[in-house]
Structure 1
């Protein structure tokens, strides 16, 4: 999934804004009660300062190493199809990437709850070690099941353990400038999704696939080592009733529809990123340049900073609705590109618009509950959208194999995205109680 997630932008709701003493109570989720025993309130978010911006830098390093790395899956898909897994079908190979996307979301159910309870540093460090080790092990793999276990399961789970804390921790340090701070955080995703494909394109011919992947391992060791040192929470842990999976949250109809929308959008969101290099070769683009199409799409999403600022002005869902609809249209149009220039233009539009959902998808969750419970709420959402992340690329691969092209796969994935956008409008209506408003 292209799903960074990765951000809690667009909402300035804070438990300390609504009540100066005690915890905020959200009438939409009445059964979530905060245990007030031994809880202290450190005051308003600083909205700046060296410590806060170092946290942003650390979170960006996490995004670079997790979502940025995962969004580079297309380079592995293309290389495996043409070299190491030559006799394995594209849809089967795609299960490695889709498993990564799904498992990057699924552990959030546990890690979000653990973060709320104060368990953060040790799981984060352990996941760092697993991710680096699995990356080095990938260089030694030769068979599908080996790639699936190390790259699909190992890399996916470890990314998922680290992703959620990075998503939740930055809003603790920023309130009025939250959109800007988390937009800057997601720049790490952009850089990772550019660096890894470009590095692969240039290093594989020089040092081979094995040493290229080992170089990736050393890069991850450095970036995640920095994140382990600098990433720090500001608010104290608070135990909110409800357990690991809080079903009371789904009494909020807006939250329920928003989760269904996320599943549908993610079901189609990663198709173009996964098969872009393969489709480029199919229309006559050189293999040497095909990897760059992925880097171009990811580079275009660097403008996602503007979406963060826009969400602070008009609301996260309002921003996502417009731009994610463009993503769906670009996905439908993508298979109709006939030459390199058309493919580059479509990839750039797709990558640019994709940045809105990837940056903002978590923002509405802040307004749908209490800040103290944000980790669990985001974790539930990400675990649910993992269903779409797991199924999307393999389904698209099976459709393209059956039809002999990507046109039907484009209709399927683009249609899923646009249907999810329609559900976003429903979620906004249910939350606001009217057809239009900032949210």
Structure 2
């Protein structure tokens, strides 16, 4: 009887357990941990989406265009003026080297200075872009200004061509890259509806800088000499770019600030979950879900290379850039061979740069209305067609170069100098 009673009580107990819902029958350890897990998940859901939106979806903020964006555009304009104006004005330096300081060197040897300058600026873009993303655009531009100033001062003390390769070529290109790419990409963070116009105004600074720097450099060569001219330009770089860098303000947080925020939010999250300031750091570090609030970011993102349209755009930009700097570098020497003076050659280089500023602004404005791709196709076709047609006309004028017919030849050069109005539109439309 006693055993029967025990069996009956056991059956009653089992029957009572069957009446309990399954979701309430859990292991004791699970029952104790579940509230903390639920709280942590709720906290992560409340924290993560907001910050991911700020981190990875920065262009959403530009729906509200603010007036300070035009201050950023103005600062980018002057940075572009110094950087691109100096890079595009290398033809003035090359002409000076051929006739004075390095007249024993060939044109081929001296042209490598400008080539290394451009290579140093463009090829280091992936590296300097990562530096700008991590340190911030303001810090990157400041460092670039210092490097460019030091490189130009070192150039003024150089006595060998190989030294110019290092200082005026590679080192200046590296500093230019640190300042150029932030000034190129920052205006787009402040504008959406007028993004093309804002970017066009910013990059028009390169044309304006060339319009001013090239004739001014030639004039200073004749007054204070080559070496003090280069030192003066170095001081102007520091005086213009450093103040402009302090006006740079990004609307997307830098990688350094993002890392600090993640650590701070991790600490706050641990305090909310475990009720203490520090809990089992080794365990949390071994679990990626507890140590980061966002995806791990690689040093260089190659995922865009899988996009076919992006690859086509890169190829187009590559072939456009192959002939982009040739007129700027060889134009002064070319026109002097056909009878132009040094001052006229530098003036035409200034016109070459100034006309490009018109193309940059106008094509940037056009892209806001007809679209980036349409602007790119139209401008590319017109640029290619105009180069073919105008050079045919220029070739017919070569035999007529003389002191009596120089005004006619000069007008032909001016037409050639205005070509970047169309050529620059290709570059702006591809930004």
TM-align CA RMSD: 2.3
Q: Partner of 2:250 in structure 1?
A: 233
Specify which of 412, 415, 430 is matched with residue 342 of structure 1. 412
Deviations 1:126-179 (A, max 9, x none): 221110111122222222111111100111110011111122211111111111
Matches within 5 A, 1:350-429: 350-362=419-431
Pair 1:305-2:379 in alignment: no
Residue pairs, 1:150-165, within 5 angstroms = 150-165=167-182
Q: TM (normalized to structure 2)?
A: 0.71
Relative contact order (alpha carbons < 8 A, sep ≥ 6): 1 or 2 greater? 1
The aligned counterpart of 2:189 is 172
Matched, 1:84 2:153: no
Shift of 1:124: 2.7
Find the partner of 2:228 among 184, 193, 211.
211
- Alignment match, 1:422: none
TM-score (norm. length: structure 1): 0.69
- Counterpart of 1:132 (choices 131, 149, 169) is 149
1:248 and 2:261 equivalent? no
Q: Which residue of 2 aligns with 1:261?
A: 316
Higher helix share: 2
C-alpha separation in 1, matches of 2:205 and 2:238: 15
Q: Call closer, same or farther: CA 1:120–1:297 in 2, change over 3 Å.
A: closer
Larger radius of gyration: 2
Distance of 2:158 and 2:64 partners within structure 1: 46
Matches within 5 A, 1:318-329: 318-329=374-385
Residues in 2 aligned to 1:307 and 1:121: alpha-carbon distance in whole angstroms = 27
Distance, in Å, in 1 between the alignment partners of 2:299 and 2:387 is: 36
Q: CA deviation at 1:108?
A: 1.5
Return closer, same or farther for 1:210/1:115 CA change in 2, 3 Å cut-off: closer
Checking the alignment, whether the CA contact within 8 Å between 1:47 and 1:176 is kept in structure 2 is no
Match of 2:52 among 36, 39, 57: 39
Deviation of the 1:119 alpha carbon? 4.0
Partner SS for 2:323: helix
Deviations 1:43-81 (A, max 9, x none): 632665442111111111211121121111111111111
Distance 1:290 1:200, change over 3 A: same
Aligned to 2:13: none
Using the TM superposition, give the Cα deviation of residue 248 of structure 1 relative to its aligned residue in structure 2, in angstroms: 2.0
* Alpha-carbon distance, 1:340 to partner: 2.1
1:192 Cα shift? 0.9
Q: Is the 8 A contact 1:193 1:295 kept in 2?
A: yes
Distance 1:226 1:358, change over 3 A: farther
1:360-414 CA distance string (max 9 Å, x none)? 322xxxxxxxxxxxxxxxxxxxxxxxxxxxxxxxxxxxxxxxxxxxxxxxxxxxx
Distance 1:45 1:141, change over 3 A: same
Select 2:127's aligned residue among 107, 110, 113: 110
| In 2, Cα distance between equivalents of 1:103 and 1:36 | 39
For structure 1, which segment, 105-114 or 190-199, has the greater mean C-alpha deviation from structure 2 after superposition?
Answer: 105-114
Runs of at least 5 residues in structure 1 that lack an aligned partner in the other structure: 1-34, 363-439
Counterpart contact for 1:68–1:190, Cα < 8 Å: yes
Kept in 2, the 8 Å contact 1:111–1:165? The answer is: no
Q: CA deviation at 1:226?
A: 1.5
Distance 1:241 1:221, change over 3 A: same
Change (3 A) 1:37 1:145: farther
| Kept after mapping to 1: 8 A contact 2:132/2:140 | no
1:211: Cα distance to partner? 1.7
Displacement of 1:288 in angstroms is: 2.5
Matched, 1:191 2:208: yes
SS of 1:84's equivalent? coil
Q: Distance in 2 between matches of 1:154 and 1:131?
A: 7
Q: How far did 1:37 drift?
A: 8.2
Match of 2:370 among 280, 305, 314: 314
SS of residue paired to 2:224: helix
Deviation at 1:357? 2.4
Specify the SS of the correspondent of 2:299. coil
Matches within 5 A, 1:92-107: 92-107=109-124
Q: Deviations over 1:190-245 (max 9, x none)?
A: 11111111101222111111122122112111111222210110123477656233
Aligned residues: 327
Instruction: Please tell me whether the aligned partners of residues 215 and 343 of structure 2 are also in contact (alpha carbons under 8 angstroms).
Output: no
For 1:128 and 1:47, locate their aligned partners in 2 and report how far apart those are by CA, in whole Å: 31
What is residue 280 of structure 1 aligned with on the other side?
335
CA distance in 1, matches of 2:246, 2:140: 14
